[in-house]
Chain A
Amino acid sequence: MTASQKIWALHLGLIAVLFAAQYVLPPYHATNLARIMVLSIFAMGYNIAFGYTGLLSLGHALFFAAGMYGMGLSLTLLGWTALPALIAGLVAGGLLAGAVGVLALRTAGVSFMIVTLMFAQAGYLALLYFGTITGGDEGFNPDRSLRMIGSLDLSADTPRYLVALGLFALALLLCLWLVRSPFGRVMVAMRENEERSRMLGYNPFAIKLITLVLSGFYAGLAGAAYGLLFGYVGATFATIQYSILPMLYVLLGGAGTVIGPFLGALAMFYLIDLASGITDAYFFVVGAALVALVLFAPKGILGALRERGVRWLP
């Protein structure tokens, strides 16, 4: 079996397993898995920027929230149907990432982190300020009758799971294609040595901006899908917590690996779920797990696997 065949088998196999899981898992876990798949799309987007291109952003909650509100307001204010509203959310995330990138990419490293964080905070405050439209702190729930694609009721368990899986599969395969394309190699080259890439004739600003916009599209799609499938649009999703979560998913699963963000989201989601059943201070448990991760597997689950012999993992 060639490396390429192994790669396709692994990724298509994961999608097949997730498809089968809905028939095996109890409804509670199936709903959790649908949520994890949507959050994984968010993390995949973060991974494109951070894991592959080296852009450490603290502002991705803004792009997620842009997608969520882009979708939600298109449904409720503009009267669009679910599918165009979902696309509006995706576009909102990408466009906002482009606008932020044009300014923030004039900085690098820690400055880039701080600038993106400030943009996200400004976005969060804007959501609160324009509360008459956005629902402010409480957000809003799009009516169940609006959450339909044709006759498919997205608030029902099975359609919700299938749509989450469909979007996840699309995002995963697109990400796999991207990172194995020539542009994917340039992204890694940029992460490894920006000056050397410049000396090969690449414009670092342009490459990083394209990457950030792609990452924003993923975050926007995830935000839109989350609001549509789970019926809530809220300012909480624009807080810094939602900028840090995708970073943790990526670090846990393995930065610069295609499946890593899914594994990280799965592990982190259930770690929080289990820990919160034991103690109110569940973030202590999460923190301890992360410290252990940094000490024993600093490259994350798949990063460690890749280092120990599975070198073909993309």
Chain B
Amino acid sequence: MLQINGLTAGYGPVTILRDLSFQAAAGQVTCIMGRNGAGKSTLMKAIMGLVPAQSGQIALLGQPLHRLPAHKVPLQGVAYVPQGRRLFGPLTVGENIDVGLLARNGGAKTRNFVLDLFPRLRERLDQTASTLSGGEQQMLAIARALCLEPKVLLLDEPTEGLQPSMIALIRDTVLKLRETGLATVLVEQRVESVLRMADQVAFMAHGRVEAQVSVTDLRPDSTLFRQFVGV
């Protein structure tokens, strides 16, 4: 589904990602792990065209993404929920969803799909987004991204700073989405969450994916976790 080959990217003269290769398959959850500064968030931004590729290719179903302007990448079928959620605070829950739907002329079917996925948002459609709890804001950020009807969903630390019940809810949602055939790429630091959700795990260090393995090859005390995450 999503294929990255030999990607080198960075900010101006500073190179962050170096000759990085990575893939994410449809109907699978691929978790990205690595220490701070490994380049996980930069990889997400590079896929979205926010960090320009200096060399290498990013392709979705064989179609190159790396030459597109950033605003055209989501319309090809890649949705991104960044760290910190970044909602449109003064707009209501319903209006945030509408802004997402309008981008792809999404209709009632998509709206109902995302609201069925997060019934709590349906109860708060008229509530201003900035007044939601952290967990509800994360739900709304994911719901708004899903309004794009993506083929690939990128989630950057979606459970960061959330209470355990919300973490479980987000985790369940990711697993439900997997059933729909969506390819999910998830930056996650909790080993327990990774082992429960992931089909594949990519370990990053120094701007490269050093290893990409099936989760069935991993255990909580695997050397790879110690080597790349430090736990």
Q: Contacts of A201 on B, CB cut-off 8 Å? A: 71-72, 74-75, 103-104, 148
Which of B10-18, B82-90, B190-198 forms contacts with chain A?
Answer: B82-90
**Interface residue? B98 (CB, 8 A):** yes
The answer, among A189, A198, A203, A311, for a CB contact under 8 Å with B88, is: A189
**Interface residue? B61 (CB, 8 A):** no
Q: Contacts of B69 on A, CB cut-off 8 Å? A: 203
Contact with A along B98-117 (1 / 0, CB 8 A): 11101110000000000000
**Interface residue? B50 (CB, 8 A):** yes
Task: For the complex formed, measure the closest distance between the CB of B183 and the CB atoms of chain A, giving whole angstroms.
Answer: 17
The answer, among B72, B90, B102, for a CB contact under 8 Å with A192, is: B90
Task: For the complex formed, measure the closest distance between the CB of A299 and the CB atoms of chain B, giving whole angstroms.
Answer: 11
Contact assessment for B71 and A202 in the assembled complex, using a CB-CB cutoff below 8 Å: yes
Task: For the complex formed, measure the closest distance between the CB of B84 and the CB atoms of chain A, giving whole angstroms.
Answer: 10
Task: For the complex formed, measure the closest distance between the CB of B74 and the CB atoms of chain A, giving whole angstroms.
Answer: 4
Contact assessment for B99 and A198 in the assembled complex, using a CB-CB cutoff below 8 Å: no
Which of A106-114, A180-188, A237-245, A271-279 forms contacts with chain B?
Answer: A180-188
Docked pose: A247 CA to B128 CA in angstroms: 27
Task: For the complex formed, measure the closest distance between the CB of A182 and the CB atoms of chain B, giving whole angstroms.
Answer: 5
Q: Contacts of B104 on A, CB cut-off 8 Å? A: 201
Contact with B along A228-243 (1 / 0, CB 8 A): 0000000000000000
Chain A CB within 10 Å — which of B50, B95, B147 has the most? B95
Q: Which of B47-90 contact A (CB under 8 A)?
A: 48, 50, 69-72, 74-75, 79-80, 82, 86, 88-90
**Interface residue? B208 (CB, 8 A):** no
Contact assessment for B100 and A200 in the assembled complex, using a CB-CB cutoff below 8 Å: yes
Give B130's nearest chain A residue, CB to CB: A192
**Interface residue? B144 (CB, 8 A):** yes
Contact assessment for A200 and B99 in the assembled complex, using a CB-CB cutoff below 8 Å: yes
Task: For the complex formed, measure the closest distance between the CB of B43 and the CB atoms of chain A, giving whole angstroms.
Answer: 15
A residues within 8 Å of B by Cβ? 182, 185-186, 188-189, 192-193, 195-204, 256, 311
10 CB-based A-B contacts, threshold 8 Å: A185-B91, A188-B91, A189-B88, A189-B91, A193-B88, A200-B145, A201-B75, A201-B148, A203-B71, A204-B71
B residues within 8 Å of A by Cβ? 48, 50, 69-72, 74-75, 79-80, 82, 86, 88-91, 95, 98-100, 102-104, 128, 144-145, 147-148
- Kindly list the 10 A-B residue pairs having the minimum CB-CB distance in the complex, ordered from nearest: A201-B74, A201-B103, A201-B75, A192-B88, A200-B103, A196-B86, A198-B71, A203-B71, A182-B102, A189-B88
Give me 9 other A-B pairs in contact (C-beta within 8 A), A182-B102, A199-B80, A201-B71 excluded: A185-B99, A193-B86, A196-B82, A199-B74, A200-B74, A201-B72, A202-B71, A204-B71, A311-B128
